[in-house]
Amino acid sequence: MLASRLLQRALTPMVTTGALVVIAADGERLEFGDGAEPRATARFHDAAAQWAVLLDPDLKTGEMFTDGRLTIEQGTVYDFLALVLQNSLDAEDPWFIKLLDRWRMGLSRWRQRNLAGRSRRNVAHHYDLGDDLYALFLDPDWQYSCAYFEHPGQSLADAQLAKKRHVAAKLALRPGDRVLDIGCGWGGMACYLAETAQAGEVVGVTLSEEQIAAARERTAARGLDGRVSFQLQDYRAVQGRFDRIVSVGMFEHVGLAFYETFFKTCRRLLADDGVMLLHTIGTSDEPCLTNPWVTKHIFPGGHLPSLSDIVSAVERNGLTITDVEVLRLHYADTLRAWREAFMARRAQASALFDERFCRMWEFYLALSEAAFRHQDIVVFQLQIARRPTAAPLTRDYIAAAEAELREREGAAGEISPRAATA
């Protein structure tokens, strides 16, 4: 079978470690690697699925798995993806894949024309699937972004609390500071900044109707009305001035074509002596194409920036980068916790949606974890200011602020959105 011969030719030089077995649609068994761990066996159920993955692996592997036309018979889909991705670091793509990637790169700016209306539709596609879904795998505070693991074996809940503490410390908050939270999610960061970090006022903005409803109920339950408020609003429409701006896990949805607009808006909103903390997924490689399966099925309009994408846009808009930190495997461990929790409650997810949805989300969580663990996907935390003197001149203040925040946390307590609405 021609497709099997081409698959053999493509995978033999690429998969050199581990043991990958591919059972072709005609039953032929193809073996790759050195036979060591990790191990995975994948089966194609029809010839068209095999050709699709061969010709467009980045898009079609996830689609064929979601449709049940590619199944994993030994190991899990994570084992399969981790084996392939860890072997692909030094492999060179064939000419037609390079051509396909260049074509997609050319279309990416058009596909990321994230004006206000499209941005709201993109957000609804993922974040308005229903809080019952996110309750299956998130931590009690519903932090849907990279946790900060301070030591091996730390629980997800503690690592997410550490993330909030780390972000708050880098903001160098002063008593009475007015804070803007761009992409506030279910409100956990905003509540932490008001309640534990003692900000004067926190305004959160989101485009998710599901998230904002839970965030407002949480604020009322914690007695934070008047200090924390949430608006269903695009970041470009925000008015006023803020001493501090924080954005965690939102910049990935801005779109490369709107980086100038984003930072121009932040400069307009930030006080002259203000400080901003941007926390975003990105790539440690040169600017490149974001996975097409993810942008088609999971995060439409999304883009993972390189550091150079961000820095050049910051520089052109009169802002100064005052600190950069790269979180490497923290998101891999976060995604492992999410994936394990989701799989443990898969039957509940199937009852909410269906098996096809569950396969799609299993693939999304597994692919994301494998990419963070084995490829060049990281998290950037950038501290940004209008003036170079706005932030402390050494990093000692971060540890000192974290120690003080840790002492306050016990008194503040934590209430989940689910608890707030029960």
pLDDT tens string 322-368: 999 999 999 999 999 999 999 999 999 999 999 999 999 999 999 99
Residue 99 has pLDDT above 90, yes or no: no
Tell whether 314 and 176 lie within a shared domain: yes
Return d(Cα 114, Cα 85) in angstroms, integer: 30
Return d(Cα 321, Cα 325) in angstroms, integer: 11
Among candidate residues 43, 60, 92, the one where a domain is terminated: 92
- 378-403 tens-digit pLDDT: 999 999 999 999 999 999 999 999 99
Residues 6 or more apart whose CB falls under 8 angstroms from that of 186 comprise: 142, 144, 211, 214, 215, 218, 417
In a domain, 98, yes or no: no
Burial of 164 (0-12, 13-18, 19+ CB in 10 A): buried
Return d(Cα 279, Cα 274) in angstroms, integer: 17
Residues 6 or more apart whose CB falls under 8 angstroms from that of 97 comprise: 56, 57, 58
- What pLDDT is attached to residue 402? 97
In a domain, 214, yes or no: yes
Tell whether 152 and 74 lie within a shared domain: no
- What pLDDT is attached to residue 414? 52
Tell whether 132 and 30 lie within a shared domain: no
- 215-247 tens-digit pLDDT: 999 999 999 999 999 999 999 999 999 999 999
Tell whether 45 and 189 lie within a shared domain: no
Domain range holding 87? 2-92
Q: What is the count of structural domains for the chain?
A: 2
Return d(Cα 236, Cα 265) in angstroms, integer: 6
Tell whether 73 and 132 lie within a shared domain: no
> CB–CB of 288/307 below 8 Å?
no
The DSSP letter of residue 375 is S
Tell whether 86 and 140 lie within a shared domain: no
